Amino acid sequence: MKILKFGGTSVGSVESIQAVLQIVKQTYESGEQPLVVLSAMSGITNLLTKMAEDAAAGLPFMDDLKSLETKHFDVVKKLIAVKYQNPVLTKLKLLVNELEDLLQGVFALRELSLQSKDLILSYGERCSNYLVSKIMEQEIPESEYINASYYIKTDSNFGNAHLNETLTNQLIQALAQTHSGKLLFVTGFIGSNEQGRVTTLGRGGSDYTAAIFGSVLNASAIEIWTDVNGMLTADPRVVKKAFSLPVLSYTEAMELSYFGAKVIYPPTMVPAFMKKIPIVIRNTFQPEFAGTRIQFESEKSGYPIKGISSISDVSVINLTGSGMVGKSGFSGRLFTLLAREQINVILITQSSSEHSITFAVNPNDAHKAVQLINTEFELELLANKLSVPVIEVDLGILAIVGENMKRTPGMSGRLFHALGRNGINVRAIAQGSSEFNISVIINKEDLAKALNAVHDAFFAELKKTLYVFNVGTGNIGATLFKQLHKQHDFLLEQNDIEIKVVGISNSRKMVFNQEGIDLSEWQEQLENEGTAADLGSFIQAMQAMNLPNCVFIDNTASKLPSTYYEEIFKSNISVVTCNKIANSGSYEQYKCLHETARKHGVDFFYETNVGAGLPIVRVLKDLMLSGDRILRIEAILSGTISYIFNNFKGDASFYDVVKKAQELGYTEPDPRDDLGGIDFMRKMLILARDAGYPLESADVQLGNILPERCLQASTVDEFYTELLKAEDYFNQLKKDAEEQGKVIRYIGSLENGEVKISLQMVDEQHPFYALSGSDNIISFCTERYKDRPLVVKGPGAGAEVTAAGVFADLVNVGA
């Protein structure tokens, strides 16, 4: 025989009840002899609790009672043939009337004992099982409703009663004998004490009922039917990427559920374990899926852990003091005291010096626990051997679980790295001596972020999600969105990276969408759904969303975003930017930003600050990191100037070439912004700093291309007039170069900590001789690349290549 237990979510509506009946019928007809255990209809136990508490507080409860009645009656009307409805409705009405009497009693006395509450709660399971058994009876006449409170005997610990195994065994066995051949619908969750008063087995306790029946009746399996595909690697409501686990050991399932995986009630594992009966968690709404099998042996899964679970609200009590040192009885006394008063201690950690004990409890128990401690340890407190216990609130627990953990080194490293990188502060750590679990206490508000970050860290083969906030939607921003949109599927399939742009702002508007903005229509979304742009609020919203693997992209050319970088790093968010302003400002700022990013374990990537998408910053960094030493860097890092000197040959006049460059859009509106070398200077400064030199922009020796009078001109037109007048100067330069078989190049160099940018003539031996078009080129002469320098060359400007560089930085975040 087999136990089929259906949770509240499986008996929540007409449709779901039909799905349940289908599964029961199939099992029954296959000759499996199922015994069915049902929970109350979904939401009913909570509703009963509310009504009871309202009644005790003198508040009205009749509306709620009416809705409870309607919820059950509706099912009768839809699923029972009209001619059979009456007796069922009458019986249900009787139950509802009894319930009303009980609630009236509570209301009159303004008192709700745990005993009365259990009795009131029992009506949920009694109504649902009676109802569903009657529906099934229409097709399977052997169906029969069983009130399990007559068969499950417990102590009098109302609300969370403990099983009396011997008595229960006898009663269930007798039931099986007298009801052989029947299809039983047994109430989950409830039992009764020695005096026959109804008790409950704890919230979620119907799973436990199923296991108790399964164990006594030696079932071949205990199937827990719910609304998800088995036990998942994490709570699917929080971690969207959680996936179903095919096999778990009892211990693993126990640990996961103890630390919050609600899908199965932890005590359920005990009776099943004792008899090695497999528990199978299955989805009522996807019955073809095999679900999760919980069995004696753990199975290797290819992942170092099985799952991650969490408890979202705990309080932590800290006890410190010399009174605890070497006193072996201290913790014994403490925890006996708490156990005696029924305070459940969720987790304990003790410092190795025994100077402090930290333990976590349900927030409702915290004050009581402290009062008990104050009384029990009064003498120690008076003698200052113990300091006054401190309660910390609004905390949560995250636990990673798996039997393979003990054979795999580096588990806690990986856990703490994921937490640290995302700025999640760990308040306390506990590792079970079994090494099946490592638990950390963190702020409650960080739980969702932590669960996702840790899930990404341990199930790395799964796709990693980067959450992007982008400011700047000009040429580069817009091109980046186009590229991200186009590459989305490829990245996901080939590299397991999903990039979600969750915030976009330009200077006018900003828009957010945590699910990811559709990049095929970001303009419309920004226009139609966006609010007035404000960088401060944009950054606040980004911080408030508290997402893991979060990246801020600055695709602007303005200074304002860079003033926020430091704060962004401090929120453990990485920055990717093509904006040079931050890195080419004061050295102090450069240093501060780099240090802050490092301290917070996040990335600061700006490959496109130098040579657009060309790998220059990265190459320099790799050379430095691998211990190479830079002897000399030479570079041409202005596409515009490159273009001009590449075309200034033969008969061409300098004036014409500059004009043409401007017409082609290669220059700034005022060509002097390029020819003045400032932009080039910034790039060289960044490289020098990255190479380890603490330089300021004033330290760069910037040689002029243009004669003084051209620079002095007050308008662009006047500049061109002066340029025409300087024709002889430029022709002379060209002639000199041509006579020597050389070409003119505007070259930046870094050597011995000095940066110079100047016009030079180079012969064909020089790597820069053959530079064409508007290309950039850089040569690194290092200890390792001494005889033949390492050269990077290619297009160093343009929206496509720059956006591609930003894209490359982005996918490298966190790598």
Instruction: Please tell me whether residue 235 binds ligand ADP under the rule CB under 6 A.
Output: yes
In contact, 534 and 572? CB cutoff 8 Å: no
Identify which of residues 259 and 467 has a Cβ nearer to ligand ADP in the complex.
259
DSSP state of 388: P
Identify which of residues 308 and 499 has a Cβ nearer to ligand ADP in the complex.
308
Amino acid at residue number 466: L
Amino acid at residue number 201: L
Closest CA to 257 of 246, 269, 247: 269
| Spatial CB neighbours of 551, under 8 Å, sequence gap ≥ 6 | 466, 467, 468, 469, 573, 574, 575, 576, 603, 810, 813
Instruction: Please tell me whether residue 7 binds Mg ion under the rule CB under 5 A.
Output: yes
Identify which of residues 7 and 477 has a Cβ nearer to ligand ASP in the complex.
7
Q: How far is the CB of 592 from ligand ASP (least distance, A)?
A: 54
Among 16, 116, 199, 206, binds ligand ASP (CB under 6 A): 206
237 binds, among ligand ADP, Mg ion, ligand ASP, none (CB under 5 to 8 A by kind): ligand ADP
Instruction: Please tell me whether residue 267 binds Mg ion under the rule CB under 5 A.
Output: no
Instruction: Please tell me whether residue 8 binds ligand ADP under the rule CB under 6 A.
Output: yes
Kindly report the backbone phi and psi dihedral angles of residue 256, in degrees, each rounded to the nearest multiple of 5, phi listed first.
-60, -45
Continuous H helices in 322-410: 329-340, 363-376, 378-382
Count Cβ atoms below 10 Å from residue 544 Cβ, excluding itself. Answer: 11
Q: How far is the CB of 5 from Mg ion (least distance, A)?
A: 9
The one catalytic residue in 306, 683, 734, 793 is 683
- Residues forming a β-bridge with 193: none
Tokens of 94: 């009787």
Tokens of 610: 């130098």
Chain centroid to CA 681: how far? 41
Instruction: Please tell me whether residue 224 binds ligand ASP under the rule CB under 6 A.
Output: no
261 binds, among Mg ion, ligand ADP, ligand ASP, none (CB under 5 to 8 A by kind): ligand ADP
Among 120, 231, 723, 737, binds ligand ADP (CB under 6 A): 231
Identify which of residues 46 and 298 has a Cβ nearer to ligand ASP in the complex.
46
| Spatial CB neighbours of 389, under 8 Å, sequence gap ≥ 6 | 317, 318, 319, 369, 370, 373, 374
Among 96, 120, 163, 232, binds ligand ADP (CB under 6 A): 232
Strands (E), 177-218: 183-187, 190-192, 198-200
Interface size with ligand ASP, residues (CB under 6 A): 13
Instruction: Please tell me whether residue 205 binds ligand ASP under the rule CB under 6 A.
Output: yes
Q: Map tokens 């070409």 to a residue.
A: 743
Helix 654-663 with 639-647: angle, nearest 10 deg: 130
Which range touches ligand ASP (CB under 6 A), out of 37-45, 171-179, 483-491, 602-610? 37-45
Sheet holding 221-226, edge to edge: 143-146, 183-187, 34-38, 2-6, 221-226, 279-283, 292-295, 247-249
Instruction: Please tell me whether residue 10 binds ligand ASP under the rule CB under 6 A.
Output: no
Instruction: Please tell me whether residue 227 binds ligand ADP under the rule CB under 6 A.
Output: yes
Instruction: Determine the residue with CB nearest ligand ADP.
Output: 7
Closest CA to 574 of 240, 800, 239, 815: 815
Residues 258-297, mask of contacts with ligand ADP (x by CB under 6 A): ---xxx----------------------------------
Around 805, how many Cα atoms within 13 Å sit in the side-chain half-sphere? 29
Identify which of residues 125 and 674 has a Cβ nearer to Mg ion in the complex.
125
Q: How far is the CB of 188 from Mg ion (least distance, A)?
A: 9
Strands (E), 173-220: 183-187, 190-192, 198-200
Q: How far is the CB of 504 from ligand ASP (least distance, A)?
A: 43
Whether 77 is catalytic: no
SS3 583: helix
In contact, 231 and 281? CB cutoff 8 Å: yes
Identify which of residues 124 and 639 has a Cβ nearer to ligand ADP in the complex.
124
Instruction: Please tell me whether residue 203 binds ligand ASP under the rule CB under 6 A.
Output: yes
Tokens of 587: 């050295």
In contact, 768 and 777? CB cutoff 8 Å: yes
Identify which of residues 207 and 603 has a Cβ nearer to ligand ASP in the complex.
207
Do the bridges between strand 574-577 and strand 630-636 make them parallel or antiparallel, or are there none, so unpaired?
Answer: unpaired
Instruction: Please tell me whether residue 452 binds ligand ADP under the rule CB under 6 A.
Output: no
Interface size with ligand ADP, residues (CB under 6 A): 20
Instruction: Please tell me whether residue 676 binds Mg ion under the rule CB under 5 A.
Output: no
In contact, 551 and 559? CB cutoff 8 Å: no
**Pairwise CA distance, residues 376 & 649, whole Å:** 95
Identify which of residues 123 and 330 has a Cβ nearer to ligand ADP in the complex.
123
Go through 677-704 and write b for each residue having 16 or more CB atoms within 10 A of its CB, e for each that does not: bebbbbbbbbbbbbbebebebeebebee
**Pairwise CA distance, residues 477 & 578, whole Å:** 10
- Residues forming a β-bridge with 128: none
Among 151, 185, 189, 645, binds ligand ASP (CB under 6 A): 189
Among 34, 191, 204, 423, binds ligand ADP (CB under 6 A): 204
45 binds, among ligand ADP, ligand ASP, Mg ion, none (CB under 5 to 8 A by kind): ligand ASP
227 binds, among Mg ion, ligand ASP, ligand ADP, none (CB under 5 to 8 A by kind): ligand ADP
**Pairwise CA distance, residues 722 & 720, whole Å:** 5
Q: Which residues in the 173-212 window bind Mg ion by CB under 5 A?
A: 204
Instruction: Please tell me whether residue 266 binds ligand ASP under the rule CB under 6 A.
Output: no
Cα dist from 58 to 98, 107, 112, 121, 450, whole Å: 19, 6, 11, 19, 42
Instruction: Please tell me whether residue 267 binds ligand ASP under the rule CB under 6 A.
Output: no
Which range touches ligand ASP (CB under 6 A), out of 197-205, 225-233, 250-258, 580-588? 197-205
**Pairwise CA distance, residues 209 & 211, whole Å:** 5
Instruction: Please tell me whether residue 237 binds ligand ADP under the rule CB under 6 A.
Output: yes
Identify which of residues 207 and 722 has a Cβ nearer to ligand ADP in the complex.
207
9 binds, among ligand ADP, Mg ion, ligand ASP, none (CB under 5 to 8 A by kind): ligand ADP
Tokens of 22: 């289908």
Identify which of residues 346 and 381 has a Cβ nearer to ligand ADP in the complex.
346
Which range touches ligand ASP (CB under 6 A), out of 24-32, 200-208, 478-486, 673-681? 200-208
**Pairwise CA distance, residues 360 & 379, whole Å:** 24
Q: Which residues in the 31-90 window bind ligand ADP by CB under 6 A?
A: 39
In contact, 61 and 105? CB cutoff 8 Å: no
Identify which of residues 204 and 561 has a Cβ nearer to ligand ASP in the complex.
204
Instruction: Please tell me whether residue 8 binds ligand ASP under the rule CB under 6 A.
Output: yes
Q: Which residues in the 101-140 window bind ligand ASP by CB under 6 A?
A: 124
Residues annotated as catalytic are 683
- Enumerate binding residues for ligand ADP (CB under 6 A): 7-10, 39, 204, 226-228, 231-232, 234-237, 261-263, 307, 309
- Enumerate binding residues for Mg ion (CB under 5 A): 7, 204
- Enumerate binding residues for ligand ASP (CB under 6 A): 7-8, 39-40, 45, 124, 188-189, 203-207
